Amino acid sequence: MIVLGIALATVASFLASAALYAIPAVSTLIARTSTPRPGLPVAVQMLTVVVRSLLAAGLIAGLMATAGWHGAGAGALLGLALSVLPLTLLSGGVIHENTAVPAAGVHLLDWVVKLVLTGAIVGLFL
């Protein structure tokens, strides 16, 4: 059952991310403040989002199973706690690489939503 939970969480995470970045104000902000990697097809970029989502879902499932945690609430709380990791990485980008704060904020929101959603879904299957 956990494999199904990981798969569903991966798809939900991808869709949540796609919905966020499809919001006109968000897509305009990201287009204005980010530089796309030249030569990397959109399909490859989307595949990397799926792979990252799969890795996050697997990590959350492994942590929950190891800790003996069950349920959507426990999974959502774990996802929220894990949000400190993208926060530290994105703050480093703001401080050291001059990443625009609004763009980093959007990326952080993306990860917080994905991690909480992923945790809740995975938790339903544990």
Q: Tell me the C-alpha distance between 34 and 20, whole Å.
A: 16
- Over residues 32-68, the pLDDT tens digits come to 988 777 888 889 988 999 999 999 999 999 999 999 9
> In the chain, which stretches have pLDDT less than 70?
none
Q: Tell me the C-alpha distance between 82 and 112, whole Å.
A: 8
Angle of helix 72-82 versus helix 101-124 axis, rounded to 10: 150
Confidence (pTM): 0.91
Question: How much is the pLDDT for 4?
Answer: 97
Give the pair of three-digit tokens for residue 122: 């995975």
